[in-house]
Amino acid sequence: MSTVKVSNGDRVSSIEVEDGVSLLEAVSKIKDMHIDASCGGKGTCGKCKVRVLKGDLSEPSKSEIKYLSKEDLKNGYRLSCMVPVTGNIDVLVDSINEKSQILTSHKGFTGKLNPVVQKKHLHLPKPSLKDQRSDLTRLLESISLDAVTVSLSLGQKLPALIRDTDYSVTAVFSSEQLLDVEPGNTESLNYSIAVDIGTTTIAAYLLNSGTGETLDTISGLNSQKIFGADVISRIEYSMQGDGKLELLQKKIVTQISDLCIFLAERNNISRENIYSVMIAGNTTMLHLFYGVDPSGIAVAPFIPGFLRSMNIPSSDFKNFPINCIIYSIPSISGYVGADIVAGILATGIDEKEELSLLIDIGTNGEIVFGNKDKLYCCSTAAGPAFEGAHISCGLGGISGAVDSASIDNSLIKFSTIGDEKAIG
């Protein structure tokens, strides 16, 4: 074991790691310490440059000689993905520019609301010698649920609850599950969180499930991006074994957990009243979220572990801060994911007579064309061309990125995000 001491100008942290892990990986294990590494640690993007202040290191690799100037090398700069930790190291990393500009506004869904988790206040008919239905049957028949699974804890609390409330309770249910029963009328307290896991950015929306209203929005860069900028880089990283897949999963689950807590607290909403978290994302992002090996997606014939909608209790996720059901939207194939399905449903192009074109340019880009009779879709790695993955120029939507350019009297004019000095 060796100690890696990391400073980013603002803060110094230390971590103990096994000898042999890369400096990039060591730093990535420290909360909120990031190194940009869009090729996922393969030494092909040259972006994970750090300055080693102290420590005996291996000789620079070919890749470092290619990406770093002689001046850089002389001053202790190294590509962190190429440097194995073999003793105590002090390292200086850039204070990461995480001020990203992510568009999260939307026109809003105007269709018929059919939330996955519903609430219904019930005045249950009281039992009599002519109505000897059991407590559970009495309740389920009042909300027209039949073939549902009921948890042991719910079965245990039901008899006292309905008597103590004089048969006035609120059922919390989905089409297949009776999730909870609450005393009195709590219909107005029904919230859900919708999350879009983009390869580069992540956005979370707090929704009133009863009205469909979007109450609040938050977004950030996908915390997995230090392990590769695109889906192939992340799949390759996950395939290195030794807990890499679990690390990717932990990163995204922790980030989503943090967003959920933040949204609840900023809106003074009890976490107990958030009954569902709905996840959309491309097929690989969903695999990484669930910790399911995505390696089949990377090579022909491109087979995912799953495509269907998932429905998992949050208790199955380590340390998830909200007791709810985590749903995900189904995907169509390895490269046509739940994000596109969500887009099709939100725009309703699958119900229209006229032909429509839906274009989603993200780090992965998809185009859907067609109408109610048939929809065609194709996809490709789109964003990397703009965002600089695997190539020497370009970057994501962070401060300093050029976000507009025009030619005016033979002069090139441009603006940057945050009006900062252009980088990338």
List contacts with a second copy (CB under 8 A): 127-129, 131-137, 149-153, 155-156, 158-160, 163, 176, 290-293, 295-296, 300-308, 310-312, 316-317, 333-334
With respect to a second copy, which residue has the nearer C-beta, 137 or 415?
137
The whole-angstrom separation of Cα 201 and Cα 352 is 30
**For the chain, how long is the longest CA-to-CA vector?**
92
Name the minimum Å distance from CB 276 to a second copy: 15
Residue for token pair 């002689």: 70
User: Cα(405)–Cα(413) distance, rounded to whole angstroms?
Assistant: 6
Identify the burial level of 146 via C-beta atoms within 10 angstroms of its C-beta, where 0-12 means exposed, 13-18 middle and 19 or more buried: exposed
Whole-angstrom distance, CA of residue 184 vs CA of residue 161: 10
Six-digit token string for 236 = 């390759």
Q: Which lies closer to a second copy via its Cβ, residue 297 or residue 344?
A: 297
Taking the complex as a whole, the smallest distance from the CB of residue 170 to a second copy amounts, in Å, to 19
Rounded Cα–Cα distance for residues 39 and 240 (Å): 14
How near is the Cβ of 317 to a second copy at its closest, in Å? 7
Residue placing its CB nearer to a second copy in the complex, 11 or 157: 157
359 within 8 A of 367, measured Cβ to Cβ:
yes
Q: At its nearest, how many Å lie between a second copy and the CB of residue 318?
A: 11
Separation between Cα atoms, residue 313 and residue 311, nearest integer Å: 7
CB of 316 to a second copy, least distance (A): 4
**Nearer CB in complex with a second copy: 3/168:** 168
Q: What is the spatial distance between Cα 201 and Cα 102, in angstroms, rounded to a whole number?
A: 7
The two beta strands, 178-183 and 201-208, are unpaired
Strand order in the sheet with 2-7: 12-17, 2-7, 89-92, 49-54, 77-79
Residues in Cβ contact with 386 at an 8 Å cutoff, skipping those fewer than 6 apart:
394
> Which residue, 306 or 369, has its beta carbon nearer to a second copy?
306
Nearer to a second copy, 90 or 293 (CB): 293
Alpha helix (H) residue ranges in 239-365: 244-266, 283-290, 295-298, 338-347
**Distance of closest approach, residue 182 Cβ to a second copy, in angstroms:** 17
Nearer to a second copy, 139 or 206 (CB): 139
CB of 194 to a second copy, least distance (A): 20
Residue 152 or 405 with smaller CB distance to a second copy: 152
76 near 19, Cβ under 8 Å? no
Give whichever of 300 and 357 is closer to a second copy, judged by the CB atom.
Answer: 300
Residue whose entry in the numeric block shows the structure tokens 């932990």: 250
Q: Give the residue from 11, 99, 74, 56 showing the smallest Cα distance to 418.
A: 99
Cβ 264 to a second copy, closest distance in Å?
23
Smallest gap, in angstroms, from Cβ of residue 286 to a second copy? 10
